C-alpha cells in the first residue's frame, strides 16, 4: 500500500490550500484511493492507495504547485481500514511520515521511504528516479505545460496544434523542449519500480 503524506510549505504565512487540494486529488484520483483524501494535523493531507501510478501521479500533481512537501510511504497498513485516512496506521504510514520530514529538506520536496528497513536502498533508487523526472518537469516552460495539459486530456499533437492555433511542427518542437514524451515513458517505468518496492516491503513485513 502507498501512503502519501503532504505538508503545505510555509503554511503559517500562506493562504490555506489544504481543502482545495484535497478535493482536487479526490476528483482526479478518487477511483484509485482506498479511503477518501483526508486533512491531517491542520496543514497536511493524507491519501492511501494500492496503485503505484496513482501514488506517483498525486506526488507529481502536488510537486508541480511548489506548495507542498510530499512523502511517499510503501508497505503494509493495519487492517481492517478505519473510515478515515487520519485514523489509519501501520508501517506504510510511519514510512510516509519519515518521507515527508525528509522531503522538507530536499530540493525536489519529494521523498520515498519503505516501511521495511531492508528495502531502504530500493526506496532510495526509486527516489532518485523521481528526482530525475521532477528535474525534467521543472525546466518546462509555461507553453510546455500548456501542451502537456492538453495531451494529458487525451488530445493528439495534431489536435493540440489545432487547439493552440499553431502548426504541427511547432507542437512537435514544443513537445521536445518540454520533455513530454520522455516523461510519458518514464512514468510507467517508475510506477513499476514503486509497485515492486511496495510488494517487497509488504512481503518482508508479513
pTM, two decimals, is 0.95
Is 159 a domain residue? no
What pLDDT score does 42 carry?
77
Is 165 a domain residue? no
Residue 100 has pLDDT above 80, yes or no: yes
Residue 206 has pLDDT above 90, yes or no: no
Is 145 a domain residue? no
Give me the domain span that covers residue 25: 2-123
Cell numbers placing 139:
525546466
What total number of domains does the chain contain?
1
What pLDDT score does 22 carry?
96
| Per-residue model confidence as pLDDT tens digits over 165-188 | 999 999 999 999 999 999 999 999
Is 66 a domain residue? yes
Residue 163 has pLDDT above 70, yes or no: yes
Is 78 a domain residue? yes
Is 179 a domain residue? no
Would you say 46 and 30 are in contact if contact means Cβ atoms under 8 Å apart?
no
| Per-residue model confidence as pLDDT tens digits over 74-90 | 999 999 999 999 999 99
Q: Which residue, 110, 3, 98, is CA-closest to 67?
A: 110
Helix/strand/coil (H/E/C) assignment for every residue in the chain: CEEEEEEECCCCCCCCCHHHHHHHHHHHHHHHECCCCEEECCCEEEEEECCHHHHHHHHHHHHHHCCEEEEEEECCCCCCCCCCHHHCCCHHHHHHHHHHHHHCCCCCCEEEEECCHHHHHHHHHHHHHHHHHHHHHHCCCHHHHHHHHHHHCCCCHHHHHHHHCCCHHHHHHHHHHHCHHHHHHHHHHHHHHHHHHHHHHHHHHC
| Residues whose CB falls within 8 Å of the CB of residue 52, separated by 6 or more in sequence, listed in order | 2, 191, 192, 194, 195, 198
Q: How confident is the model at residue 41 (pLDDT cuts 50, 70, 90)?
A: confident
Amino acid at each position: 500500500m502507498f501512503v502519501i503524506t503532504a505538508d503545505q510549505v510555509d503554511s503559517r504565512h500562506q493562504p490555506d490550500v489544504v481543502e482545495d487540494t484535497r478535493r482536487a486529488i479526490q476528483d482526479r484520483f478518487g477511483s484509485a484511493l482506498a479511503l477518501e483524501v483526508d486533512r491531517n494535523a491542520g496543514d497536511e493531507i493524507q491519501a492511501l492507495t494500492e496503485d503505484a501510478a496513482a501514488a506517483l501521479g498525486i506526488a507529481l500533481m502536488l510537486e508541480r504547485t511548489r506548495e507542498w512537501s510530499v512523502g511517499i510511504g510503501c508497505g503494509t497498513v493495519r487492517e481492517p481500514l478505519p473510515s478515515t485516512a487520519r485514523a489509519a496506521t501501520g508501517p506504510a504510514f510511519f514510512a510516509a511520515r519519515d518521507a515527508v520530514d525528509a522531503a522538507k529538506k530536499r530540493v525536489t520536496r519529494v521523498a520515498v521511504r519503505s516501511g521495511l528497513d531492508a528495502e531502504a536502498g530500493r526506496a532510495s533508487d526509486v527516489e532518485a528516479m523521481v528526482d530525475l523526472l521532477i528535474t525534467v518537469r521543472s525546466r518546462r516552460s509555461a507553453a510546455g505545460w500548456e501542451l502537456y495539459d492538453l495531451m494529458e486530456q487525451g488530445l493528439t499533437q495534431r489536435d493540440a496544434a489545432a487547439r493552440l492555433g499553431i502548426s504541427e511542427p511547432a507542437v512537435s518542437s514544443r513537445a521536445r523542449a518540454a520533455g513530454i514524451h520522455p516523461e510519458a515513458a518514464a512514468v510507467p517505468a517508475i510506477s513499476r519500480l514503486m509497485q515492486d518496492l511496495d510488494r517487497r516491503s509488504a512481503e518482508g513485513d508479513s
